[in-house]
Amino acid sequence: MTAVALVLVGLCSAWVVLGVFAVLRVMADPRRAPELALARGLRPRVTVLKPLCGADAALEENLASFFEQDYPELELVFGLRDPGDPAVPIVQRLLERYPGVPARLVVHAGSDSINPKIDNLLGMLPHATSDLLLISDSNVRAPAHYVREMVRTLSAEPSTGLVTNLFRGVGEDGLGSALENAQLNGFCAAGAALPTLLGDALIVGKSMLFSRRVFESLGGFERVKNVLAEDFVMGKMFQHGGYAVRIAPTVLDNVTRGTTLRGFLRRQQRWAMLRARLRPGAQLAEVVVSPLAMLPLAWLLMGPLAITWCIGLMMLRDAGGWMAVRGPQGAWLAVLLAPLRELLMLGVWLRAPLKRHVIWRGHKVRLGAGTLVYAPSR
């Protein structure tokens, strides 16, 4: 029993330490420097695809950051299915405010895709005039050098097929959004950075740049139109196709303002359910990287010092991750909320393999293996 405890406590400690190190390693990439310029021949045209559904918190400011990119060869395509969607007047105002930016709003009838996001993207795709596609979620805000850095990262090595970003939760205005940001800045950032740096692409699809031609040679959107974890599968399509998946060094803002406690739990439950369907063994093993869950085993090894070990690891992951991606401002929230966040996420972890339905953007779907969506209910 002591040997098992030693191994599991050691794995927990190593994951937390290496996870924070991986985040710092991604951000230390020299391509992060905004002043680095691209040669004229390395400035291919890029189409940014922005699937919309509803008016997210700070939507106008988020979308405006893409009109203000310092990359000249850029077009923006915004897509949705409902002409009465509250995002429509917001986009129309931006089109009027930035008449010099090639941009269009596409209202389409949709396709036969069960995944709502892919359904939207397929409706937008005929309006993209570039080979390079940059898929960006509506709740993401980007600095002016973002697109330039993404292209530079994609062009740096011929083997690179897809470029993505880490993202940080910002804009907390209540308990739900503060918990969401603590989770995003700690567990999620490390959980995406570490496996991807080790060659096991783990993509969260808030930001993905790739060649449309290459992607279609791998099967394209048809291969992901009926799975809910389309971003993870897309990363694996490139990885298994022999292409490298890279993380660009700039961490993007994910605005969570207005997230309630229920909204936080629902989103994290959905993500945990996706992980349980994609890699059941790995999802079950997530309990090993929870210092609170490993506390009894640590106590067996260290006695009362185990409490210090547990608190130290939670602070390193939550507060250390927060400071790595956002700086010290607001990091006290991660410290304060660490025990509650850990308890709530253990509950989410327990329920994930047992729940069968998720609700996303108003769509209730049933998940099968590999996140196959096979029983939609509207």
What is the pTM for the complete model shown? 0.91
**Residue 271: inside a domain:** no
Q: How many domains does the structure of the chain reveal?
A: 1
Predicted confidence pLDDT, tens digits, the chain (378 residues):
789 999 999 999 999 999 999 999 999 876 555 555 555 456 899 999 999 988 887 899 999 999 999 998 999 999 998 899 999 999 999 999 999 999 999 999 887 788 889 999 999 999 999 999 999 999 999 999 999 999 999 998 999 999 999 999 999 999 999 999 999 999 999 999 999 999 999 998 899 999 999 999 999 999 999 998 999 999 999 999 999 999 999 999 999 999 999 999 999 999 999 999 999 998 999 999 999 999 999 999 999 999 999 999 999 999 999 999 999 999 999 999 999 999 999 999 999 998 888 776 666 778 888 888 765 544
pLDDT for 377 equals: 47
- C-alpha span between 31 and 2 (Å, rounded): 46
The single-letter code of the amino acid at 195 is: P
Closest CA to 364 of 292, 273, 240: 273
**Residue 250: inside a domain:** yes
**Residue 241: inside a domain:** yes
CA atoms within 13 A on the CB side of 280: 7
**Residue 312: inside a domain:** no
The pLDDT tens digits of the residues spanning 145-166 come to: 999 999 999 998 999 999 999 9
Closest CA to 123 of 225, 213, 46: 225
Contact criterion met (CB below 8 Å) for 356 and 377: no
The token pair at 60 is 């106008």
**Residue 357: inside a domain:** no
List, in sequence order, every residue forming a beta bridge with 359; answer none if it has no partner. Answer: 364
DSSP 38: P
- C-alpha span between 253 and 276 (Å, rounded): 27
Contact criterion met (CB below 8 Å) for 123 and 81: yes
**Residue 308: inside a domain:** no
**Residue 17: inside a domain:** no
Domain at 48, CATH number = 3.90.550.10
**Residue 376: inside a domain:** no
Identify the domain containing residue 61 by its residue range.
23-262
CB under 8 Å to 69, separation ≥6 — which residues?
142, 144, 146, 147, 148
pLDDT for 372 equals: 84
- C-alpha span between 357 and 374 (Å, rounded): 11
